[in-house]
Amino acid sequence: MITGLAESWAALRKWATADTLLAAHGDVALHFTELDGESVRIPLAEYVRYTQDNTADNPFYLFEADMASLPELASMAADFETPPIFADDLFQLHRPMLCQHQFVIIGGNRTGSNLHVDPSQTAAWNTLLCGRKKWVLFPPNNDTQFLQSIGVTTARKTTPPLYWWMDVYPSLTPDMGAIEVIQAPGETIFVPQGWWHCVINLELCVAASGNVMLPQMLPMALQELRKDMPEKAEAWWRELKEHRPDIARHHANAVDEEPPSL
């Protein structure tokens, strides 16, 4: 958990409370979705009213990607940026490997995300501006028995996040290696590459988030991506050798490649 990364953001002030958020962006229409895919496009002000008396197990939730590319959302996208310590993102050289990489997340009580590992071997940062989130994270482990014990099932993709906290969370034992934390406004949580994690919003929460591929993550990422998406992995590696020969040279041995010439 890191503090102080959002001090220069306009979002630190504009998104700090429901009132300030609505004063700045209340008329912006956003897509709020359920796990079953149902979606509604409504103004942010209407969604905040919905969260105040909603009692559904699976409330509507916003997970808006690549806002800077949507003209009607440009005002919100301008309120934050990737923190400098995460700015050296190697996927910027080949964005088709990970089209969605920066998000605004807004949800009321009981919304959140089910247990998952972030896509394409990325890590993630999540800066909370309003509300409180509870996180549980597990170190990388793909053992089938372990995954079953922590609640990784195919059904999790269509099950309300609340149910994991009711059915699985109480049965966790110390040997599972869980790390849990409640995130407060102004804090940025870093989720390392390959870590299982889930989150539940304890009240109305507003956050900015992003997926990144940092230079030190390259060896493991390239090894796994070559298995899962070999053509895209090789295209990305070619881009790295051309545009970031410093990084490619440093990691050449780790990825079983000849270092690029200077």
pTM above 0.85, yes or no: yes
User: What is the tens place of the pLDDT at every residue in 211-260?
Assistant: 999 999 999 998 888 998 899 888 888 889 999 998 888 887 766 555 45
Tell me the CA distances in angstroms from 44 to 15, 23, 105, one per residue in order: 12, 10, 12
How many residues appear in the chain?
262
For the cut 80, the answer to whether the pLDDT of residue 93 exceeds it is no
Q: How confident is the model at residue 36, as a pLDDT?
A: 66
Q: Which of 80, 67, 109 is nearest to 199 (CA)?
A: 109
Would you list the domain boundaries of the chain?
Answer: 2-213, 216-255
Q: What is the pLDDT of residue 202?
A: 97
* CATH of region 2-213: 2.60.120.650
Q: CA angle, corner 49, sides to 60 and 104, nearest 5?
A: 50
Residue 124: pLDDT band (50, 70, 90) is very high
Alpha helices (H) along 40-119: 44-53, 74-77
Q: Look at 6-20, 136-150, 152-166, 209-223 and tell me which has the smallest mean pLDDT.
A: 152-166
User: Which pLDDT band holds residue 74 (cuts at 50, 70, 90)?
Assistant: confident
